[in-house]
Structure 1
Amino acid sequence: MEVTGIITAIVIGLIIGALGRLVVPGKQNIPIWLTLVIGVVAAVLGTLLAGALGVAETPGIDWIELLLQIGFAAAGVAVIAGVRGRSRV
């Protein structure tokens, strides 16, 4: 992967993290930087899963890959918010 590909993945991951946070209902008591880290990880996981399923390279916008990434981000935000919410009593 080239440097531009890594930078693009990070930028897309930041957007995915924000979208994942918007999908999860209620207030999440996690810092924004953690949401963004979750987004970057979710973007990578979503891309890997889309590649494994054979839907990573499609003409136009890769909607399935995008939905997988947002799903991973939403799940990550929900899990981390739940864990952090319970640990701070």
Structure 2
Amino acid sequence: MNAATVMLCLPLGLVTATLGRLVHTGRPRISVLWTVLAAVLAALAGTALAAAFVPTDTAGVSWITLVLQAGLATGAVALAEVIKPGRSQTAHQQK
């Protein structure tokens, strides 16, 4: 994994996180920072996974790698939404 690959994961994670926030119904339980962090880290994991299993001598864009990155980033944001505890309703209602 070189620096150009890592730099590609940052905008991909940002776009995936933004799309995930737009598609999500209701109030998100995690902050924008957690959403972006989960998406970028998952995009990096997708890059590493693709480097291990996808041939690197493709001409042009490796669509398999991009789909793998986007899929993992979307899944990571959904998982972070479930795992990270959000505001409790009782504490919010008491204020």
Supply the distance in 1 between the matched residues of 2:86 and 2:32 (Cα, whole angstroms): 18
For residue 29 of structure 1, give the secondary structure of its aligned residue in structure 2: coil
Q: Which structure would you say has the larger Rg? A: 2
Match of 1:10 in 2: 10
Unaligned runs of 5+ in 2: 90-95
Correspondence 1:30-41 to 2 at 5 A? 30-41=30-41
**CA offset at residue 10 of structure 1?**
2.4
What residue identity is the alignment partner of 1:26? T
CA RMSD of aligned residues (A): 2.7
Supply the distance in 2 between the matched residues of 1:23 and 1:46 (Cα, whole angstroms): 22
Match of 1:76 in 2: 76
For residue 30 of structure 1, give the secondary structure of its aligned residue in structure 2: coil
Whether the 8 Å CA contact 1:24–1:78 is kept in 2: the answer is no
Residue deviations 1:26-45 (CA, integer Å, cap 9, x gap): 34322111111112101111
User: TM-score normalised to the size of structure 1?
Assistant: 0.70
For residue 34 of structure 1, give the secondary structure of its aligned residue in structure 2: helix
**CA offset at residue 88 of structure 1?**
3.5
For residue 36 of structure 1, give the secondary structure of its aligned residue in structure 2: helix
Match of 1:42 in 2: 42
* Number of aligned residue pairs: 86
Go from structure 1 to structure 2 and tell me whether the alpha carbon gap of 1:85 and 1:30 turns closer, same or farther (over 3 Å shift): same
Give runs of ≥4 in structure 1 deviating > 4 Å.
22-25
**CA offset at residue 78 of structure 1?**
1.2
Unaligned runs of 5+ in 1: none
